[in-house]
Amino acid sequence: MTKLSVNINKIAVIRNSRGGNMPDVLLAARRIEGFGAEGITVHPRPDGRHIRYDDVRQLKDLVTTELNIEGNPIDSFTDLVLEVVPAQVTLVPDAENAITSNAGWDTIAHKEFLTKKVEEFHSKGIRVSIFVDPVPEMVLGAKECGADRVELYTEAYARDYHADREQAIAPYVAAAEEAQRCGLGLNAGHDLNLDNLAYFVERIPWTDEVSIGHALISDALYLGLEETVGRYLAQLK
C-alpha cells in the first residue's frame, strides 16, 4: 500500500504566528504517527517561517516511522540533513522567497549539481528523492543523477482533476511508468486531497509514498487530526 507521510509545516505556521509552543509541533508529530501515518515530512526554509532547523533536529529523535526532509539543497540545508540523517531527503528547487514549491527540477540542466548532492547524501545512507514535473525525460534524468526515487509534483493534476481527471492523470501515468522502467521508487505530492487522492493511487498503484500537508491539516480543523489521518489512509487502500 502507498504510504502516507504527513507534512507538518502548517502546524508550525500556527505556532509561529503567536510565538511560544502552541500548538506543539513535536506532540503533533507523535500523535500523527500514533494515528497511523507512516512518515513525517518537514520542509524547512532559510527564513524559518514554519518548520525551523531546531525543530528538525528534535524530530530526528522523536519520529519512529520515517522522517523526510525536503528542500532546496543550499549549503545550510545540506549541512542540516547530513547532521540529522533522516530516512529520506527530497530535493526541491524552490527559491528562498517562494510561498510554496512551484516547479520540479530540470534534471538534465542541473545534472552535475544534483549528482554531487545525491552522492553527499548517499555517503550518510540517506535515501534521495528528486522533485520533478511529470515529464519522462526529467524522471530519467533523476535516475542518471543517482537518485533512489522521484517525487512527482502533482499541482497540475489537482488543478485539472475535476475538469477531466483522465486528461489530468495522463502525464503522471507516463512519468510513473518511466520511473518504474528505470528502477526508481515513486513518491507524489502537492495539493493531493480527499477528493483526488484515491484516483491517483488507483491509476498509479505502485506509488511508494504520498506527502500531504496543507490539505490534510486544513481538513483536520473541521474533522480533527485523528479522523483526518484515518480518512487519508482509507483513500490509499
Confidence of residue 32 (pLDDT cuts 50, 70, 90): very high
Catalytic residue of the set 33, 50, 190, 209 = 190
Q: Is the peptide bond before 23 cis (omega within 30 degrees of 0)?
A: yes
* pLDDT value at 95 more than 90: no
Catalytic residue of the set 66, 70, 151, 178 = 70
190 is catalytic: yes
Please answer whether residues 151 and 131 qualify as being in contact, where contact means their C-beta atoms are separated by less than 8 angstroms.
Answer: yes
Q: Where are the domains of the chain?
A: 3-235
Identify the architecture of domain 3-235 in CATH: Alpha-Beta Barrel (3.20)
pLDDT of 183-205, one tens digit each?
A: 999 999 999 999 999 999 999 99
110 is catalytic: no
According to the model, what pLDDT value does residue 98 have? 55
CA dihedral 211, 213, 214, 217 (to 10 degrees): 140
pLDDT of 119-134, one tens digit each?
A: 999 999 999 999 999 9
According to the model, what pLDDT value does residue 40 have? 98
* pLDDT value at 99 more than 60: no
The more confident residue out of 187 and 97 is 187
Please answer whether residues 107 and 145 qualify as being in contact, where contact means their C-beta atoms are separated by less than 8 angstroms.
Answer: yes
Tell me the average pLDDT of the chain. 96
Catalytic residue of the set 43, 66, 151, 178 = 43
120 is catalytic: no
